[in-house]
Amino acid sequence: MNTKKEFDDREIQLLQDRAGYRSDSQQYANYTARLEQLGRDRIRLSEESQRKERRRMFWYSKIIPLIALGISIYALVRG
C-alpha cells in the first residue's frame, strides 16, 4: 500500500517532469522563433544589399555619364 509520502513524492516528480517538458517545449519554441528571426534578418539584409547595388548601378549608369556629357558640352561651348 502506498503511503501518503510516496504518493506526494511521485506527484512532485510528475509535476517536475511536466515542468521540464514545458521548459523544453518553451526552449524549442524560443529556438524556432530565433531561427525564423535570423531568416527574416538575412532576407532583410539581402534586400538592403540589393537596394544598395541598384542605387550604385543607377549612379554609374545614369549620373556619371550625364556629368561627363555636361563637361564635354561645356568644353565644346567654351572651346
Q: Per residue in 34-46, pLDDT tens?
A: 888 888 888 888 8
CA-based max dimension of the chain? 114
DSSP state of 3: -
What pLDDT is recorded for position 68?
92
> What pLDDT score was predicted for residue 2?
61
Can you tell me which residue has the cell 549608369? 61
